[in-house]
Amino acid sequence: MKITVKKQVTCGLNIEKYVHMKQTYFILLAFTFIVLLFANSCSESKIAYNTNGKLSFSTDTLSFDTVFATIGSTTGSFMVYNHNSQPITIQSILLTHGVTSGFHINVDGTNPTNNEVQNVEIRAHDSIYIFVAITVNPLLQNNPVLIEDSILFQTNNSRQTVKLQAYGQNVTIFRSKTIHNDTTLTNIRPYLIYNYLAIDNAKTLTLQPGTKLYFHQNASVLLKGNLVAEGGQSPNKQIIMQGDRLDWLFPNVPYNYLSGQWGGMQFLGSQSTYSLNHVIMTSGKVAINIPNGTTLNQPTVSIANSRIQNFDSCGITAINANLNMYNTEISNCKSYCLLFLGGNYLLTHNTIANYYNDVYTGKQRDGNPSVILMNKQPLTPQSTIFPLVFTANNCVIAGSMANELSLADTAQTNVFQFHFDHCYLTSPAISSTNMANIIWGKPQDDLFVSTTMDKSYYDFQPDSLSMLRGKANPIISHTSPYQYDMNGIDRFWNNLPDIGAYEWIPKNGIPNP
Distance CA 213, CA 191 (A): 5
> What is the number of alpha carbons within 13 Å of residue 431 lying toward its C-beta?
0
Domain that holds residue 347: 171-477
pLDDT for the residue numbered 4 = 37
Domain count for the chain: 2
| Whether residue 216 sits in one domain with residue 202 | yes
Instruction: Identify residue 108 by its one-letter amino acid code.
Output: D
Distance, CA of 392 to chain centre? 31
pLDDT for the residue numbered 3 = 37
| Whether residue 340 sits in one domain with residue 243 | yes
Q: Does residue 162 lie within any of the structural domains?
A: yes
| Whether residue 205 sits in one domain with residue 156 | no
Distance, CA of 147 to chain centre? 24
| Whether residue 225 sits in one domain with residue 154 | no
| Whether residue 450 sits in one domain with residue 326 | yes
The answer to whether the CB of 209 falls within 8 A of the CB of 226 is no
The pLDDT averaged over each successive group of 10 residues in the chain (513 residues) is 36 40 46 42 36 83 91 91 94 95 95 95 96 90 91 92 94 96 97 97 97 97 98 96 89 84 97 98 97 93 97 96 98 96 97 89 91 85 86 97 90 85 97 96 92 66 95 97 97 96 92 69
pLDDT for the residue numbered 454 = 56
Distance CA 301, CA 266 (A): 12
Whether the model pTM is above 0.85: no
Distance CA 79, CA 367 (A): 43
Residue finishing a domain among 168, 185, 216: 168
pLDDT for the residue numbered 231 = 98
114-141 per-position pLDDT tens digit: 999 999 999 999 999 999 999 998 887 8
Q: Does residue 33 lie within any of the structural domains?
A: no
Instruction: Identify residue 254 by its one-letter amino acid code.
Output: P
Radius of gyration from C-alpha coordinates of the chain: 34
> What is the number of alpha carbons within 13 Å of residue 138 lying toward its C-beta?
3
Q: Does residue 46 lie within any of the structural domains?
A: no
CATH number at residue 108: 2.60.40.2310
Distance CA 423, CA 99 (A): 60
∠ Cα 292 333 315 (to 5°): 25
Exposed/middle/buried for residue 48 (C-beta within 10 Å: 0-12, 13-18, 19+) = buried
Please confirm whether the linkage preceding 387 is cis (ω < 30° from 0). no
Residue 183 CB neighbour total at 10 angstroms: 14
Task: List b or e across 191-225, with b for residues whose CB sees 16 or more CB atoms inside 10 angstroms.
Answer: bbbbbbbbbbeebbbbbbbbbbbbbbeebbbbbbb
320-352 per-position pLDDT tens digit: 999 999 999 999 999 999 999 999 999 999 999
Q: Does residue 148 lie within any of the structural domains?
A: yes
Q: Does residue 513 lie within any of the structural domains?
A: no
